[in-house]
Amino acid sequence: MSSPRPPHRPEAVKEKQQTATPVTVWLKHHQAACKNAIKHLSHSPLSTLLTVFVVAIALSLPAGLQVAIKNLEAGHNAVNNQAKISLYLSMHTPKAEITSLITQLKNNDSLLDITFISAEQALQDFQSSSQLGNTLSTLKHNPLPASIIITPNTKKLTIDDIELLVADYQALEAVELAQIDAGWLKKLFSIIDLAKHFAIGVGIFLIFAVLILIGNTIRNLGQNFQEEIAISKLVGATDAYVRRIFLYSGLFYGLFGSLLGLLFVYLGMLWLTPHINELADLYNGNISLIPPDSGDIFSLLGIGTVLGLGGAWAAANRIINQLSL
Amino acid sequence: MIRLENLRKRYPNGHDAIRGINLEIKQGEMIFLTGHSGAGKSTVLKLIGLLERPSSGKITVNGTHLNELNSKQIPFYRRKIGMIFQAPTLLNDRSVFENLALPLRIAGFSGPETRSRIHASLELVGLLKKHAQLPLALSGGEQQRVGIARAIVSRPDIILADEPTGNLDPALSKDIMHLFMRLNQVGITLIIATHDLALIQPLNFRQIQLQQGKIIEPALKAGTKGRDL
């Protein structure tokens, strides 16, 4: 039997060698804290699941809104790319002036496509599409003007830029009427902008809610640990040692909450897909839902984990300070 | 060596628990702090164990000025001290072995060393066969011995015991005192707070009597050795 050592005895050096290296000790402490956290969370599975569920709901709402905005923006860009400017030319505009105008437009790299439609072409198109062929052929003069259809590059030009461009074209002598229906695009853009701000507001609000929820859950968990914390501190545990078990608990709440939240987002998309397909049929099948990409997924998991750790950190410090050992 | 110099402790409610104590305890000494309830025995132990900070005065333990230790250094200081309380303060959902392993794991001892030390400590307190039991399955005396085993498992320089026999019958109390004497014989400094004068009188170790936070009677000189029970 080995007996307790007398103070300052020579084998103190040998004893030092019997302790593991600081890194090994640190890793073992983390391993123990992780195991302990899992053990305590699994002791009350219903409570743990409820907390994870609430965290998931709180995180899935802003994440879902983010996905919705992304889809709206994609839809907006698709529609935006189809925006066309129509320049209806004045009657009897000399051909040379029209050629010069077309050349000038083609030199503008903010414009993707320039299509000239002569007055004769316009009449033919109208005759074939309107079924008024016989009636129109009785007219002595072609009443339709020549026109130029311009497709602006919406990656370079905003709706406001395009409107300024239209005003410039309107000022040209050769142009009788320059027009674009940008009003609805501006409204759509405003709605998306509003939705973005709403999502940010909801996101911030829910982030605080998750922090408070996890902090409060950890604080309650701390009640069960009070005796263990007190005894651990009496035998030499540092604050970091005591804090670790709570940090692991918070990490699990945040990580699993965000994973479940991600699942909710995907389930929501699955639920919406048939309805979107119905809508897509009405718009020639051009609409489809864009799922969260890897950046969105890692952001959500990261935010959940950081929130879990943050809430746990605050609660653990409070528990440790209250104990004042 | 432990030295208390003009030590004072005033609580926030204005109560003066310790009022100017000067005391020197030699390395390897075993002393008893005696006095009525509220005399300041437990407060002295709490101040040496850094469970509380003094209002003024100085505490030096083996050359370390405790007043200068910051909150991050305190846990490492506590690892060199064994603390025993009237109630054994054990984790009731862990086995005796796990209770003893806690301070060793915190200090970072390896697995084989942890097992070896726990074996030695349990053998010393006579509970080797009960290592797998939960504390609540043990008697009060056995629980207190587990508390003592936990205090010595880190092989501390100093043991602070606050009314360690307060909940035990006279026979068990004598056993515990006998155990303390064996620990003292291998060089551990023991400071034991007790009000059980009948138990400690025959032992002939130094007694420090406290009253209202002051030392009133250093019964025996420092360094006096006791006799066997």
- Both A38 and A104 in one domain: the answer is no
pLDDT at A55: 93
At A52, which amino acid appears?
Answer: V
Q: What's the average model confidence in pLDDT over A163-172?
A: 89
Q: How many CB atoms lie within 10 A of CB B211?
A: 14
Query: What span, in angstroms and rounded, lies between the C-alpha atoms of B74 and A236?
Result: 8
**Cα–Cα–Cα angle for B124, B128, B134, nearest 5°?**
120
Residue A15 forms part of a structural domain? no
A15 and B105 in contact by Cβ < 8 A?
A: no
Which among A235, A238, A241, A245 is the top mutation candidate for probing chain B, defined by the most B β-carbons within 10 Å of its own β-carbon?
A235
Nearest to B207 by CA among B229, B228, B222: B222
Compute CA distances B180 → B27, B157, B163, B166, whole Å.
15, 13, 13, 15
Nearest to B159 by CA among B207, B124, B193, B117: B193
Q: What's the average model confidence in pLDDT over A31-55?
A: 91
Cβ-based burial of A319 (10 A; exposed 0-12, middle 13-18, buried ≥19): buried
As a whole-number percent, the residues of chain A with pLDDT over 90 amount to 32
Q: Is the pLDDT of residue A3 over 80?
A: no
| Complex ipTM > 0.90 | no
Residue A118 forms part of a structural domain? yes
- Both A197 and A316 in one domain: the answer is yes
DSSP element (H, E) containing B127: none
- Both A154 and A253 in one domain: the answer is no
Q: Which of A111-115, A131-135, B78-82 has the lowest mean pLDDT?
A: A131-135
Residue A5 forms part of a structural domain? no
* Residue A309 and residue A215 in contact, taking contact as beta carbons nearer than 8 Å: no
pLDDT at A191: 80
Q: Is the pLDDT of residue A4 over 60?
A: no
Query: What span, in angstroms and rounded, lies between the C-alpha atoms of A49 and A44?
Result: 9
Nearest to A100 by CA among A85, A89, A84, A112: A89
- Both A113 and A235 in one domain: the answer is no
- Both A162 and A226 in one domain: the answer is no
Q: By three-state DSSP, how is residue A90 classified? A: coil
DSSP for A101-142 reads HHHHHHT-TTEEEEEEE-HHHHHHHHHHHHS-HHHHHT-SS-
Nearest to A61 by CA among A194, A190, A207, A191: A207
Q: What is the 3-state secondary structure (H, E, C) of A233-271?
A: HHCCCCHHHHHHHHHHHHHHHHHHHHHHHHHHHHHHHHH
Q: What's the average model confidence in pLDDT over B95-111?
A: 93
Residue A139 forms part of a structural domain? yes
Query: What span, in angstroms and rounded, lies between the C-alpha atoms of A137 and A126?
Result: 11
pLDDT tens readout for residues A192-247: 788 888 888 888 888 889 889 998 988 888 888 888 899 999 999 999 999 999 99
Nearest-neighbour CA in chain B from A216: distance (Å): 24
* Residue B188 and residue B19 in contact, taking contact as beta carbons nearer than 8 Å: no
Q: Is the pLDDT of residue B226 over 70?
A: no
Domain that holds residue A131: 84-179
- Both A233 and A205 in one domain: the answer is yes
Query: What span, in angstroms and rounded, lies between the C-alpha atoms of A304 and A292?
Result: 16
Q: By three-state DSSP, how is residue B207 classified? A: strand
Q: What's the average model confidence in pLDDT over A301-318?
A: 93
Residue A308 forms part of a structural domain? yes
Instruction: Pick A18's closest partner by Cβ from B113, B124, B183.
Output: B113
DSSP element (H, E) containing B8: strand B2-10
Residue count (chain B): 229
B89 and A235 in contact by Cβ < 8 A?
A: no
Instruction: Using an 8 Å CB-CB cutoff, list residues of chain A that contact chain B.
Output: 1-9, 15, 18-20, 22, 24-25, 28-29, 32, 227-228, 230-239, 241, 325
Query: What span, in angstroms and rounded, lies between the C-alpha atoms of B200 and B207?
Result: 9
Looking at every residue in chain A, the average pLDDT score rounds to 83
Q: Is the pLDDT of residue B222 over 60?
A: no
Task: Kindly indicate the confidence band of residue A78, based on its pLDDT and cuts at 50, 70 and 90.
Answer: low
Strand residue runs (E) in chain A: 85-89, 111-117, 147-152, 175-179
pLDDT at A7: 39
A235 and B183 in contact by Cβ < 8 A?
A: no
B189 and A7 in contact by Cβ < 8 A?
A: yes
Instruction: Pick B109's closest partner by Cβ from A4, A19, A22.
Output: A19
- Both A231 and A127 in one domain: the answer is no
Last residue of a domain, one of A124, A154, A179: A179
Half-sphere exposure of A62 (CA within 13 A, CB side): 26
Residues in B closer than 8 angstroms to A1, CB to CB, are 120, 123-124
Residue A59 forms part of a structural domain? yes
pLDDT tens readout for residues A14-24: 455 466 788 88
- Both A216 and A299 in one domain: the answer is yes
Domain count along chain A: 2
Last residue of a domain, one of A179, A200, A226: A179
**B189, closest residue in chain A (CA to CA):** A7
* Residue A219 and residue A284 in contact, taking contact as beta carbons nearer than 8 Å: no
Inter-helix orientation angle B140-153/B111-125, to 10°: 140
Query: What span, in angstroms and rounded, lies between the C-alpha atoms of B152 and B150?
Result: 6
A7 and B109 in contact by Cβ < 8 A?
A: no
**B46, closest residue in chain A (CA to CA):** A325
pLDDT at A307: 93
* Residue A260 and residue A52 in contact, taking contact as beta carbons nearer than 8 Å: yes
pLDDT tens readout for residues B8-57: 999 999 999 999 999 999 999 999 999 998 899 999 999 999 999 999 99
**What residues pair up with B214 in beta bridges, in sequence order?**
B211
Per-residue tokens: A245: 């078990």
Last residue of a domain, one of A179, A207, A236: A179
pLDDT tens readout for residues B124-165: 898 999 999 999 999 988 999 999 999 999 999 999 999 998
Q: What's the average model confidence in pLDDT over A119-145?
A: 77
Q: What's the average model confidence in pLDDT over A69-84?
A: 69
Residue A7 forms part of a structural domain? no
As a whole-number percent, the residues of chain A with pLDDT over 70 amount to 85
Nearest-neighbour CA in chain A from B189: distance (Å): 8
Q: What's the average model confidence in pLDDT over A175-183?
A: 81
Residue A265 forms part of a structural domain? yes
Residues in A closer than 8 angstroms to B91, CB to CB, are 227-228, 231
Per-residue tokens: B54: 């003094």
Q: Is the pLDDT of residue B2 over 80?
A: yes
- Both A211 and A316 in one domain: the answer is yes
The CATH number of the domain holding residue A103 is: 3.30.70.3040
- Both A169 and A265 in one domain: the answer is no
Task: Kindly indicate the confidence band of residue A11, based on its pLDDT and cuts at 50, 70 and 90.
Answer: very low
Residues in A closer than 8 angstroms to B76, CB to CB, are 236
- Both A70 and A206 in one domain: the answer is yes
Instruction: Pick A18's closest partner by Cβ from B71, B76, B110.
Output: B110
DSSP for B54-122 reads -SEEEEEETTEEGGG--TTTHHHHHTTEEEE-SS----TTS-HHHHHHHHHHHHTB-HHHHHHHHHHHH
Q: Is the pLDDT of residue A81 over 80?
A: no
Which among A23, A40, A234 is the top mutation candidate for probing chain B, defined by the most B β-carbons within 10 Å of its own β-carbon?
A234
- Both A242 and A169 in one domain: the answer is no
Strand residue runs (E) in B119-166: 158-162
Residue A131 CB contacts under 8 Å (≥ 6 apart), including other chains: none
Q: What's the average model confidence in pLDDT over A154-171?
A: 84
* Edge-first strand listing for the sheet containing B64-65: B16-25, B2-10, B56-61, B64-65
Give B222 or B6, the one with higher predicted confidence. B6
